[in-house]
Amino acid sequence: MYKLNCIGILTSGGDAPGMNAAIRSVTRAAIFNHIRVKAIYRGYKGLITGEIKEFHTEDVSNIIQRGGTILKTARCQEFTTPEGRKIAYETMVREEIDALVVIGGDGTFTGARIFAQEYNVPIVGLPGTIDNDLCGTDSTIGYDTALNTIVEAVDKIRDTANSHERLFFVEVMGRDAGFLALNSALASGAEAAIIPEEQTNEEQLEELIKNGFRKSKNSSIVIVAEGGGGATALAERMKRDYPTFDARVTILGHLQRGGTPTAYDRIIASRMGVAAIDALLDEQRSVMVGLVHDELVLVPFTKAIKDDKPINKSKIGVLQILSI
């Protein structure tokens, strides 16, 4: 049993649209339940350096529509060490923080799980990552916005592809997960998606060519998940092995992380934030709030950070059918 008088909230890892909506939700849900809120800046780094400020309801006014995170985020090598985590715990004791809500991805939850084990700290996580690569949730905060950002960019690239009769490789984020690549390819009418869940990039390229890629089309767009050399390596191979193709590369990069969150991301962030406080009040710990079939669920950190979240490969068949 523990008395929940004060919670700490932080964002860690890569930023994702909707994080601010989650910060707002957690803060106001805590205050609604008469719990004080301490905002921890720059992720676990702020927990070590003591960069902490008490939040009131007005501190989270007018942020639901903003991208990024008002709490900032930073990688923290020191938190990966026992010495760093000891300092972090001492900060929590000094600041009278009873529990944590952490918003981030697998790295964030990995650190939280270890910290919770070592110091018996109640921690609830919210899935904030554009990659959608956490097990136990259909969607992560920021994924929908990033997907829409990619589709909007590809729509514009297609105008140039058509005008110049070119093949474009468009590289998107998702080094180990092809959710952004596959679904943005479907939504933008791309001819193919090259994703890490399938064969190697080179094998997938061979498959495209073998299947009569482009056929009678005067332009084509292939969405490529980053990693394994990404779009640049594929374009170079294309020029070398298939010189008849006029290939170009567009790397969307950090463009995908920014921007105003979609309504969907704002809604799930708001729902998950309230659920995080409810979970702490129910004395839950070391769990992530997930969304399955539009219902909120609690997923143990150990399950959430497995690196094998399955992708729906039937969508690859849909993409192949529609690309003729």
Distance separating alpha carbons of residues 163 and 56, to the nearest angstrom: 54
The catalytic position among 131, 133, 144, 265 is 131
Active site (annotated) includes residue 144:
no
**Tokens at 170, concatenated:** 């468009």
Q: How many CA atoms lie within 13 A of 302 on its CB side?
A: 4
**Tokens at 219, concatenated:** 């332009």
Distance separating alpha carbons of residues 11 and 169, to the nearest angstrom: 32
Distance separating alpha carbons of residues 269 and 209, to the nearest angstrom: 42
Of 228, 231, 227, 229, residue with least CA distance to 190: 231
Are the C-beta atoms of 8 and 38 separated by less than 8 Å? Answer: yes
Q: Hey, how many other C-beta atoms are within 10 angstroms of the C-beta on 168?
A: 24
Are the C-beta atoms of 153 and 188 separated by less than 8 Å? Answer: no
- Residues with active-site annotation: 131
